[in-house]
Amino acid sequence: MAASALQPERHLLLIAGSGGGRPRPLLRMLPPRAPLPHRRRRWPLAVRVSSGDGGGTSAVEKPSVPGAVGVDEGARGVEELEGEVAGAWELRWPPWEGLPERYKLIGATSLAFVICNMDKVNLSVAIIPMSHQYGWNSSTAGLVQSSFFWGYALSQLPGGSLAKLFGGRKVLEVGVVIWSLATALIPVVAGFMPGLVLSRILVGIGEGVSPSAATDLIARSIPLQERSRAVAVVFGGLSFGSVLGLLFAPPIIQNLGWESVFYIFGLLGIIWCIGFESLKGKQLGNNKGLLNLGQSSSGSDGLVPSAVSSESSDSSLEDLQNSLKDVPWGAFFKSKAVWAMIYAHFCGSWGHYTCLSWLPTFFSEELNLNLTEAAWVSVLPPLGSIVITSIAAPFADNLIANGVDTTKVRKICQTIAFVSPAIFMMLSSVDLGLPPWEIVAFLTSGLALSSFAFSGLYCTHQDISREYASILLGITNTVGAVPGIVGVALTGYLLDSTHSWSISLFAPSVFFYLTGTAVWLAFASSEPQDFSKSGPES
């Protein structure tokens, strides 16, 4: 009994840590007495431990010890703790409640890009049953798929200019509405070729303004040390959208018909717009720390507590004309770095767009997979891209943060993005008697590693000019859309003529990947340039 009285601490700790019914007899063994003075000082420690663990059970059990030995304040402490824990959970829901506004906007933009590529890849799956229903050959199917890129190319420069004038948020929102409505219109006009082509052109126009809008947001709001990750999060949504589109399109088509995939995916964009309006309302309701969601600011941090004020249409058109006149077009095309970005964008887009459009058909016809199997296998490259992007982005940002020259980092990343798919495509195109799963593995690895471009080419627009980043991306993306028009259709024509996937799909992509690498290493630069000053490249 004396030993028990001398060691009350151990008994109390056992009671606090057991959480069961066994320690109760120990409570009766202890003589009733006043609480030890140091017990009250342990309460803040219990609060910190429970909130750090994130659970409510241990938070109630630990403070219940004083109450078990007869302390009246213990019961009140338990109630206070439960209220604090509940309050903490309420403050943390929704999870993004306490995030800075720039992170919320980047997350919403990434989600828009997810829906963007879902609406882009749904036709690459639906084209197979549509071709069977309407009797299209490969050339006609290629024409239908390439029509998307006509609108995509036409909207790049206007999208960049509009993003600079009105802000990327507004332009992105309008773009989502256009491509979503046009996607839902496709089943209505599918039997009428001009109408089908026009609807895909509208989808391309809506999606074409999105990269410039996103680039405008990133250039204004994200510092250099976080830029690779911001670009990776936003443009990585494209890969995730390809994964979701290729996963969900086949079962939707098989169970509900190919028309339903366009209705459902189009509806997702409208839902996004409604949610984005809610986010916009919350941002405008709190001016403190608000992002520059409107007109461009000449400040260095890109954060201003104001948005675009409402103007008349005549004033807006006049501002747009003045804005286009102020753009130093001549200085852009005197820069070797800009030309390197243009050609690199063209080369990367050739391999990306042709594979995005034709890989499901390649897997179906060449590897003898059914519609669902072909679509599921086509998921692997964009799924691998998500993994590679999560590695490449912090890799590039950490190199820059540690003092490595930004130009050198961009060249390393872009070289990996070009050389890797070129090597694996060459291995896939040569008849080595490989089983289908090895060809799938080669293509998946090469196309996944091409995601290093998000930390290479896609960051250089913001690197060399924050003010004109959206317009520079509009220029390079306009040229980058040409492979979607020419390459996708040419692949179908060569396929009908040669019946060789190596010649029609892989050989042109390998050529552009290798020549793009040479040009990028020779002329690319991330040094900031003042294009507003006339004269040679700075």
Structure token digits, residue 418: 């070009």
Which of 162, 159, 155, 207 minimizes the C-alpha distance to 183? 207
Question: What is the structure's pLDDT at 373?
Answer: 78
Give 219-238 as a DSSP string. Answer: HHH--HHHHHHHHHHHHHHH
Question: What is the structure's pLDDT at 213?
Answer: 86
Asked if residue 56 is part of any domain, the answer here is no
Q: How many domains does one find in the chain? A: 2
94-103 tens-digit pLDDT? 555 667 677 8
Residue 417 domain boundaries: 331-530
Question: What is the structure's pLDDT at 93?
Answer: 53
CA-CA-CA-CA dihedral for 52, 55, 61, 66, to nearest 10: 40
Final residue in a domain of this structure, among 285, 312, 344? 285
Handedness of CA 331, 332, 338, 343 (dihedral sign): negative
Q: Is the pTM of this model over 0.95?
A: no
Question: What is the structure's pLDDT at 316?
Answer: 53
By CB atoms closer than 10 A (0-12, 13-18, 19+), residue 132 is exposed
Do 430 and 493 belong to one domain? yes
Structure token digits, residue 346: 């063209």
102-144 tens-digit pLDDT? 788 888 889 999 999 899 888 888 988 999 899 998 888 888 9
Do 148 and 267 belong to one domain? yes
Do 376 and 245 belong to one domain? no
Distance (Å) of CA 470 to CA 148, 220, 221, 227, 459: 21, 10, 13, 14, 11
Asked if residue 40 is part of any domain, the answer here is no
Largest CA distance in the chain: 99
The residue whose two tokens read 């007109």 is 295
Handedness of CA 267, 230, 163, 200 (dihedral sign): negative
Could you check whether the bond before residue 536 is cis, i.e. omega within 30 degrees of 0? no
Distance (Å) of CA 394 to CA 261, 381, 409, 452, 455: 36, 21, 12, 11, 9
Do 257 and 335 belong to one domain? no
Alpha carbons 257 and 259: distance in angstroms, whole number: 5
Helices (H) and strands (E) in the chain, counts: 26, 0
Cβ 376 vs Cβ 247: under 8 Å: yes
Alpha carbons 395 and 96: distance in angstroms, whole number: 25
Do 391 and 266 belong to one domain? no
Asked if residue 356 is part of any domain, the answer here is yes
Final residue in a domain of this structure, among 250, 266, 285? 285
Q: DSSP letter at 453?
A: G
Question: What is the structure's pLDDT at 281?
Answer: 52
Phi first, then psi, for residue 504 (nearest 5°) are -80, -35
Alpha carbons 148 and 189: distance in angstroms, whole number: 15
484-498 tens-digit pLDDT? 889 988 998 999 899
Do 235 and 337 belong to one domain? no
Final residue in a domain of this structure, among 285, 318, 344? 285
Cβ 162 vs Cβ 324: under 8 Å: no
Do 249 and 339 belong to one domain? no
The residue whose two tokens read 């050529």 is 511
Do 265 and 401 belong to one domain? no
Asked if residue 82 is part of any domain, the answer here is no
Asked if residue 304 is part of any domain, the answer here is no
Distance (Å) of CA 200 to CA 68, 345, 487: 72, 22, 17
Strand, helix or coil for residue 102? helix
Alpha carbons 327 and 316: distance in angstroms, whole number: 17
Which of 149, 99, 112 minimizes the C-alpha distance to 237? 112
Question: What is the structure's pLDDT at 125?
Answer: 85
- Flag residues of the chain having pLDDT under 70: 1-98, 100, 279-325, 533-538
Strand, helix or coil for residue 402? coil
CATH number at residue 191: 1.20.1250.20
Question: What is the structure's pLDDT at 301?
Answer: 41
Cβ 523 vs Cβ 369: under 8 Å: no
By CB atoms closer than 10 A (0-12, 13-18, 19+), residue 382 is buried
Output the average pLDDT for the chain.
76
Asked if residue 42 is part of any domain, the answer here is no
Do 276 and 339 belong to one domain? no
Asked if residue 392 is part of any domain, the answer here is yes
Which of 365, 363, 367 minimizes the C-alpha distance to 380? 363
Asked if residue 78 is part of any domain, the answer here is no
Do 395 and 483 belong to one domain? yes
Structure token digits, residue 478: 């306009």
Task: Specify whether the backbone of 537 is left (phi greater than 0), alpha (psi in -120 to 50) or beta.
Answer: beta
Question: What is the structure's pLDDT at 340?
Answer: 96
Strand, helix or coil for residue 15? helix
Do 389 and 261 belong to one domain? no
Do 354 and 482 belong to one domain? yes
Alpha carbons 56 and 420: distance in angstroms, whole number: 50
Within a 10 A sphere around the Cβ of 165, how many other Cβ atoms?
Answer: 22
